[in-house]
Amino acid sequence: MSSLNRAVFLDRDGVICYDVHYMSSPAQFMLMPGVGEGIKKLNEVGFLIIVVTNQSGLKRGLITEENLNKIHERMVKELSAYGAKIDDIYVCPCLPEEDCECRKPRPGMLLEAAKKHGIDLKSSFMIGDKQIDAEAGKAAGCTTILITDDPEAKADYKVKSFKEAVEIIMSETKG
């Protein structure tokens, strides 16, 4: 048995909360349906829950780090009402043109989390709503799930809801 951890990496906007373009205040944060219940289930079967989010609004000056932290405090608090817990949050503040290693579709945030938390990426999952999420997950070696109705989207699994994504993870990891 491997002593490494399994993780579910989660995009934030459009997966955990409704996607507000350049969300800049905690008042704009609204959990999407089924997310609290779903994360709790994943917690219970031993997955680490790691949020990986591109937030170029930081470097664009559209959001302060202080407000971003407040948004994430609200996220943690709202999830705790469901008994759901996030283990870590990774934020890429960079602009696309900086060509950094952390901005999705690159897998930098996932790789850094894997190192820090001892994660076996091959038995881990990435849930996102955009192609860049699936690309980052695939580049890291994870199974990818996209919540999308885009027929052009490419991922190991495409689903309609967070609940369905959790059901896939549960059925894939049974036994």
Nearer to Mg ion, 13 or 135 (CB): 13
78 is an interface residue for Mg ion by CB under 5 A = no
141 is an interface residue for Mg ion by CB under 5 A = no
Residue 58, phi-psi category: left (phi > 0), alpha (psi -120 to 50), beta (remainder): alpha
Q: What angle do CA 103, 106, 112 make, to 5 degrees?
A: 80
Helix (H) or strand (E) holding 146: strand 143-147
Residue with the two structure tokens 């989390």: 113
135 is an interface residue for Mg ion by CB under 5 A = no
57 is an interface residue for Mg ion by CB under 5 A = no
CB count in 10 Å sphere of residue 127: 29
**Smallest separation (angstroms) from Mg ion to the CB of 11:** 4
**Smallest separation (angstroms) from Mg ion to the CB of 44:** 25
Out of 11, 87, 99, 150, the active site residue is 11
Query: Segment 7-36, which members bind Mg ion (CB under 5 A)?
Result: 11, 13-14
Q: For residue 70, what are the contacts with CB-CB under 8 A and spacing of at least 6?
A: 25, 26
Nearer to Mg ion, 127 or 166 (CB): 127
Q: Which residue is nearest to Mg ion (CB)?
A: 14
**Smallest separation (angstroms) from Mg ion to the CB of 132:** 8
Beta bridge partners, 53, equal 91
Q: Which two tokens stand for residue 160?
A: 């309609």
Binding site for Mg ion (CB under 5 A): 11, 13-14, 129
Catalytic residue positions, numbered: 11, 13
